[in-house]
Amino acid sequence: MPKFEAWLDTDVVQGEGPIFPEVEELEIRACGSLTALPKAASVITESSGGVDTKFRSAFPALRNMTLRYLNMFDRWEAAEGTPGEEVTFPLLEDLEIIACPKLTGLPETPRLGKLAIEGGGQQISLQAASRCIPSLSSLRLDVSPDDTETTLLHVKQKWDHELPLAAMRLTRCDLLFSSHPDALALWTCFARLVDLTILNCDALVYWPENVFQVLVSLRRLSIWSCSKLTGHTQASDRQSAPEGGGLPPRLESLQISGCTSLVEVPNLPASLKTLEIAVCGDNLKSIIFGQHEYVMPVGGEGVVQPDTSSLIPGSSGSEATASTAVLKLSSAANHRSLPCLESLFIGCCFRLSEVANLPPSIKTLDIFGCGNLQSLLGKLDVVQKLNITSCRRLESLESCVGELRSLEELRLLHCRSLVSLPDGPQAYSSLRVLQIQDCDGIKLLPRSLRSRLDCLEEKHLDARYKETTWKRAIRTLACSK
């Protein structure tokens, strides 16, 4: 409603109660002329523990509120109250403010558990939101670019303990990754954080080891569109993270997308189960899963040294690490093969030509839109789902798959250079789903796969792979036996 400007003034009736006494959910979307919520008509008094609390609210029962695309919305009610009678949402639990660029503050919300402030041009600062954050379990915050180090000092004075926050999504969070000592002090308040997403952070250039190491409860980490992130450590722009550095120690899921300068992810923890790498720039040509070796010097204690000999054939480790063409994924010492890594997704890395040292623990491998990919190296003996789409230069899978006894789903789409598939006496024995389409190089399916065609629960094949009726009858008989 683009012309909706104001609510009816209900104050003309003396003694009238709240305007919406029973409304529990409120959503206002795309009302570009609306400037405020309705005026709170009366003062409400609540007693708790012998203490009377007065507040004004047009929505005393409201629990969920969403405001989206309100270009002129700049205050919480149509009139100002008297001092000590703040406009309040006493039962509000979930507040979402999206693209309300003129709003600068938040109302009193004593029971708020989830808060989202996002959208281009928003002006609510970290300082303004800081009084709500200590009670939250979930926060999505687009930090105002006007925040300064003064904000850090102000917030630090308010937060002097671990916060209950479990999920946080930060956009343009340069202030929290600054070199100021108060920035790290704030991160220590997030020790209970389980899920963290970081978006569009230009200050994130080096791998923030000091931040990640205090996030001892973190399980899921997503980094999106941080175009300046290299992945090197600040101590040395040419060296991997020292042992104990790198990612949070108990991390299970890592997603990196749109980080076009990334060349290294140091010390993947042994707890990692899921890894996603997508849209990481035109310079990325190789993804190498690194390993560490334990070296015992004479008369001294063991030290950990990275084995980088496999990064680029014929080159030294230092040359490989320095190259912007290689994304090196180090694994922590004593966990050479990332024993818990079960799912790997690589998507839309258009210049990527090589993926090497694939961990043998992978059960799901999904590669999409890597048109220059030519080589997959590593033995995936326990892989259950193999999906490869739009990799037009990939010719063979022989170097990345094992005996395929555990393979349950195989999907190959738009891989026109792929000429053959692995074969073997036990291959495809667990296969349930098969999809092969637009893979012109595969002229004939391997014998072990052909023998399973009529036993599958689901199959989608190009017409040239279809058999005659009498051959299909033989296959069906074989399956029944």
Identify any residues that bridge with 45 across adjacent strands, giving them in sequence order: 54
Q: What residues have CB less than 8 Å from 466, skipping those under 6 apart? A: none
Q: Which of 97, 112, 127 is the last residue of a domain?
A: 112
Q: Which residue has the tokens 């963290």?
A: 196
CA distance 104 to 132: 14
In a domain, 346, yes or no: no
In a domain, 117, yes or no: no
Instruction: Say what the pTM is.
Output: 0.83
Please give the tally of structural domains in the chain.
2
In a domain, 471, yes or no: yes
Digit-coded pLDDT (tens) for 267-317: 888 899 999 999 987 778 999 987 543 222 333 333 333 333 332 223 333
> What pLDDT sits at residue 473?
56
- Positive/negative CA dihedral, 453, 456, 462, 468: positive
Digit-coded pLDDT (tens) for 227-249: 999 887 765 444 444 444 578 88
Residue 85's SS3 state is coil
Q: Per the structure block, which two tokens stand in for 153?
A: 């000092």
CA dihedral of 347, 348, 354, 355, whole degrees rounded to 10 = -10
Report whether 423 contacts 400 (CB < 8 A): no
In a domain, 385, yes or no: yes
In a domain, 356, yes or no: no
What average pLDDT does the chain have?
81
In a domain, 379, yes or no: yes
> What pLDDT sits at residue 242?
43
Q: Which of 94, 112, 130 is the last residue of a domain?
A: 112
Which of 436, 429, 406, 434 has its CA nearest to residue 479?
429
Identify any residues that bridge with 286 across adjacent strands, giving them in sequence order: 326, 354
Q: Which residue has the higher pLDDT, 235 or 113?
A: 113
Digit-coded pLDDT (tens) for 144-201: 665 666 777 777 777 777 889 999 999 988 888 887 777 888 888 899 999 999 999 9
In a domain, 230, yes or no: no
Q: What is the CA radius of gyration of the chain?
A: 29
In a domain, 99, yes or no: yes
Which DSSP string corresponds to 153-191? HHHHHH--S-----EEEEES-GGGGSS-HHHHHHHGGGT
Q: Which residue has the tokens 């036996």?
A: 481
For the beta carbon of residue 194, count every other beta carbon within 10 angstroms.
Answer: 16
Domain holding 63, by residue range, is 1-9+17-79+86-112
Digit-coded pLDDT (tens) for 83-96: 455 668 989 999 99
